[in-house]
Amino acid sequence: MSCWARITGSVALALATLTLAVSTGLAEDNYDLVARYVLETVRAFRTAYVLNVVEHVREGGIIPKEDWIKDAHAIPLPAQFVKAAGADLESFEIGLIGLTPVYKSNLPRTQAEIDALQRLTSDRSQKVISFVDGNQFKAMAADIAVVQSCVDCHNIHPDSPWRNYKKGDIMGAVIVRLNKHGK
Ligand code: HEC
């Protein structure tokens, strides 16, 4: 092989590697951006639901409660509101998880999710953590007991395994799970 051919070959190989690295890198960045937008949107809608709906109708005697469906004077809990919206999605998932959840169905699904949730809980400077997990790209944001009622309800719920929440605690996380290759 001539020297020129060898150089051209190496350059082509280097370029191909670089292209692959850049495109993989970009794809990951894109997932990260999408995941962060989704998380921000979910949190914004949940906050708007709490502040504009839950707090508003409370004065009229309508309260959020778990079995709201049976009561014409009740509305869904904020967590149920998020879950109901999530149930209507097809190409990705949103949800709420916790290490000591009211329901086991809200436990992290994989070891990577457990690790990320533990990191969020132990280091409060980390607001959002994103990572690849199998064929999904995931991001989670800490869910904080911003008002006393978060704590009160979880501490007395018959199915809650943890009864020592305090205002300001990280109670879990909002999670988004994006499929890396479409549906
Ligand atoms: C009146 C009761 C009530 C209030 C108030 C409440 N929650 Fe919950 N929360 C629940 C129940 C019940 C579930 C489980 C719902 C389900 O999965 O269907 C839940 C689920 C969650 C989860 C998912 C993990 C788990 O524990 O199952 C998180 C995180 C959470 N809530 C955080 C909060 C935060 C933060 C607040 C305040 C902003 C709050 N909750 C207010 C009752 C409540």
Q: Which residue has the tokens 């008002």?
A: 147
Q: Would 82 be classed as within a structural domain?
A: yes
Instruction: Give me ligand 1 centre to Cα 57, in Å.
Output: 19
Q: What is the pLDDT of residues 58-117, one digit of tens each?
A: 999 999 999 999 999 999 999 999 999 999 998 899 999 999 999 999 999 999 999 999
Q: What is the pLDDT of residues 105-124, one digit of tens each?
A: 999 999 999 999 999 999 99
What's the pLDDT score for residue 147? 86
Task: Name which residue sits closest to atom 38 of ligand 1, judged by CA.
Answer: 150
Q: What is the number of H-type helices and E-type strands within the chain?
A: 5, 6
Q: Would 3 be classed as within a structural domain?
A: no
Instruction: Give me ligand 1 centre to Cα 171, in Å.
Output: 8
User: Is 18's pLDDT higher than 60?
Assistant: no
More confident residue, 6 or 171: 171
What's the pLDDT score for residue 95? 95
Q: What is the DSSP string of 97-153?
A: E-SS-SSGGGS-SSHHHHHHHHHHHH-TT--EEEEEETTEEEEEEEEE--SHHHHHH
Model confidence at 25, in pLDDT bands (50, 70, 90)? low
What's the pLDDT score for residue 157? 97
Return the ligand 1 atom nearest residue 145 CA.
Answer: 35
Residue 41: give its domain's CATH number. 3.30.450
CA nearest to 79, candidates 153, 162, 159 = 153
Q: Would 160 be classed as within a structural domain?
A: yes
Return the ligand 1 atom nearest residue 103 CA.
Answer: 27
User: Is 55's pLDDT higher than 90?
Assistant: no
Ligand 1: lining residues by beta carbon, under 6 Å? 64, 66, 77-80, 83, 96-98, 101-103, 106, 143, 145-147, 149-150, 153-154, 157, 171-172
- Structural domain containing residue 143: 34-179
What sign has the CA pseudo-torsion 34, 35, 41, 45?
A: positive
Q: Would 11 be classed as within a structural domain?
A: no
Instruction: Give me ligand 1 centre to Cα 139, in Å.
Output: 19
Task: Name which residue sits closest to atom 14 of ligand 1, judged by CA.
Answer: 102
Residue 138, judged by CB atoms within 10 A of its CB (0-12, 13-18, 19+), counts as: buried
Residue 149, both tokens: 């009622």
Out of 62, 94, 102, give the residue to mutate to test ligand 1, the one with the largest number of ligand atoms within 8 Å of its CB: 102
**Alpha carbons 65 and 24: distance in angstroms, whole number:** 45
176 Cα distance to chain centroid: 4
Q: Would 147 be classed as within a structural domain?
A: yes
Phi, psi of 61, rounded to the nearest 5 degrees = 85, 10
Contact between 145 and 164 (Cβ < 8 Å): no
Alpha carbons within 13 angstroms on the beta-carbon side of residue 150 total 17
User: Is 26's pLDDT higher than 80?
Assistant: no
Contact between 56 and 134 (Cβ < 8 Å): no
Average confidence score pLDDT of the chain? 88
Q: What is the number of structural domains in the chain?
A: 1
Q: Which amino acid is at 2?
A: S
Q: Would 60 be classed as within a structural domain?
A: yes
Give the predicted TM-score (pTM) of the model: 0.86
Q: Would 29 be classed as within a structural domain?
A: no
Contact between 102 and 135 (Cβ < 8 Å): no
**Alpha carbons 155 and 162: distance in angstroms, whole number:** 7
Q: Would 22 be classed as within a structural domain?
A: no
Contact between 165 and 58 (Cβ < 8 Å): no
